[in-house]
Amino acid sequence: MKSIQWRLVFIYLTLVLIVMISSGTFIIWQIRDNEYKKIHNELKNTAESIRENIVSDDGSINPRWKDINTWVGDRSIFINKKIYILDDQGNIIIPDTEENGQEQWNKRVVYETIISKKPAVGDPVQILEGGLVQEYVDYAYPILVGDVLKNIIFIRASTQETSNSIAIITNIIVIASFLALFITVIFGTYFAKTLTEPIKILTRKAKEMAEGHLDTKIDVKSNDEIGQLTESFNHMAEELNQMLLTISGEKNKLETVITHMADGILAFDRKGHLIHANPAAHTMLDMTDKEQYFYDIFKRNGIELSFDEFLTMKPGYIKQHLMLVKDKYINGCFATYGRKKGESDGVIIVLQDVTEQKELEEMRKEFVANVSHELRTPLTTVKSYAETLLDGAVDNKDLALSFLQVINNEADRMTALVQDLLELSRLDNKQVKFNLKSVNIAQLIIKSVEQHQILAQKKNQNLGYSITNEKIIINIDPERIQQVLSNVISNAIKYSPEEAKINVSLSEEEDFVVVKVTDTGFGIPESDLPRIFERFYRVDKARSRQMGGTGLGLAIAKEIMEHHKGKIYAESEYGKGTTITMKFPK
């Protein structure tokens, strides 16, 4: 009885049944009541007729009528009735037969009349006669003389016919009821179907919608409540569809952002199982598809972390961990997400590659240490020489002069250092303005070589150039490039012994103009070669200082070359010589 259709049919049936039973009962009761009332009247008339005919005024019975049943047999009024005359005690006087006393009388009716001296009627009784059930009604009528009960007329009337006709009517009503119930089932099923069919369609479509087919529209067939419900359903589906489209659009956007972002993102469920990892996270932690659990991923990289510790973190709280993965510094931000019944659903980790920041930080620290160190040596020298002078050395003129010379040299060195630092700082901050113009680089080289000739001659070095094409025009800032050339040539002179050969060559490549400064000097060990362009890096510190170097010359040269979109690099064989190559884009 789960479907509404059958429930409706059941309701119809119950209603029809109630109506039929109540109306049937009422009809039968009415007919029966009417019939018995008629019988009672008839019995009363019969009794009165008998009284008139056989009872004299003093109440005595005319003996002529001893065989009363034979007499009444002629008259229609007495048909189907047995008549007895009783004395005042209820004993049969007429008919005087042997069967008397064997009749199954309704004694109650007789006694009622004896006591009340009024006519009494009994309820219909059913008696078995010759194998057939017969229905009778007993009736007692008092014969009174004045106030004294003389005799009683007792009539037993057969009501079998009435009973039969009531039974027929009952049967008709029962059959009619069954017919009505049968018709009710047929029509009820049909009516209920017209009601439940749209609901069924609606339910089916709602199920389809729930499965995600939100674009299916339901036909609105009527304007009644179900029609309105269908319309509301269609509207709801449309809204839902729109909302889902918006949400999935947002989700796509978010997914694209997460996929392409530089930061790594990892999401784990409560059990530490990996749910999501973007490509950046894969790269940062060098993950393979086999690693599906928190501990697998981190332990493989040698990182010991407690997943439970993160899982029990308060919402909105973030824990940071700096991890060294291979040669990279990765900063991990750990946070929990979702919180049903006070428990988080898992852990989200955002990974940031902070190697560059970390290196910059290191470089900054190193730089400060280097600057302090570079300044401390000359300052200590100046201080100690000045103190010696103050302590009396000033009186010895020759000594004082040589001391002052040292102080002056150290001051020069500090000035050079500060100037180089300022120059680098300006280059870093892009404060240096480059005056780019078309310049004949050949002329610039010749000029630089000539400027360093005296310095080279002092060391008996052979400084020359080999230029095949004396007119190569490129777009550069001549002063800055002159500075680079000067630094590289002076380095070649500084780091080469006496009699060494230094050559500056100029050549052209497809896209570049190439300047090479080659010397037959001390050379640079292979391990130091990649670092000579770093700030303050010196292969032989003592020699560099002795030569008045600051360790910043090549760093400045590199900055200037990069500003020209050019390159500078060194090739060297330790003990044999060095070549510094500068390439300018054409």
**Contacts to ligand ADP by CB under 6 A:** 487, 491-492, 495, 519, 521-524, 532, 537-540, 544, 549-555, 578
Cα separation of 547 and 523, whole Å?
16
When the beta carbons of 88 and 534 are compared against ligand ADP, the nearer one is 534
Cα separation of 450 and 463, whole Å?
9
Q: Which amino acid does the sequence have at 452? A: H
DSSP string computed for 437-492: EEEEHHHHHHHHHHHHHHHHHHTT-EEEEEES-S--EEEE-HHHHHHHHHHHHHHH
Residue 518: CB partners within 8 Å, gap ≥ 6?
492, 502, 503, 504, 505, 577, 578, 579
When the beta carbons of 329 and 537 are compared against ligand ADP, the nearer one is 537
Residue 63 is classified by DSSP as G
Q: Which of 5, 29, 267 is nearest to 166 (CA)?
A: 29
Cα separation of 1 and 194, whole Å?
18
Instruction: Please tell me whether residue 261 adopts helix, strand or coil conformation.
Output: coil
State in angstroms the smallest separation of the CB of 545 from ligand ADP: 8
Residue 423: how many CB atoms within 10 A of its CB? 17
Using only C-alpha atoms, the chain has a radius of gyration, in whole angstroms, of 66
State in angstroms the smallest separation of the CB of 488 from ligand ADP: 7
Cα separation of 454 and 335, whole Å?
69
State in angstroms the smallest separation of the CB of 444 from ligand ADP: 19
State in angstroms the smallest separation of the CB of 517 from ligand ADP: 7
When the beta carbons of 139 and 465 are compared against ligand ADP, the nearer one is 465
When the beta carbons of 345 and 540 are compared against ligand ADP, the nearer one is 540
When the beta carbons of 42 and 540 are compared against ligand ADP, the nearer one is 540
When the beta carbons of 142 and 553 are compared against ligand ADP, the nearer one is 553
Which residues in 47-57 are b (16+ Cβ under 10 Å) and which e? beebbeebbee
State in angstroms the smallest separation of the CB of 380 from ligand ADP: 20
State in angstroms the smallest separation of the CB of 538 from ligand ADP: 3
Residue nearest ligand ADP, Cβ-based: 549
When the beta carbons of 109 and 568 are compared against ligand ADP, the nearer one is 568
Cα separation of 509 and 505, whole Å?
13
Residues 59 and 151: beta-carbon distance below 8 Å? yes
When the beta carbons of 311 and 427 are compared against ligand ADP, the nearer one is 427
State in angstroms the smallest separation of the CB of 445 from ligand ADP: 16
When the beta carbons of 558 and 583 are compared against ligand ADP, the nearer one is 558
State in angstroms the smallest separation of the CB of 361 from ligand ADP: 23
State in angstroms the smallest separation of the CB of 459 from ligand ADP: 13
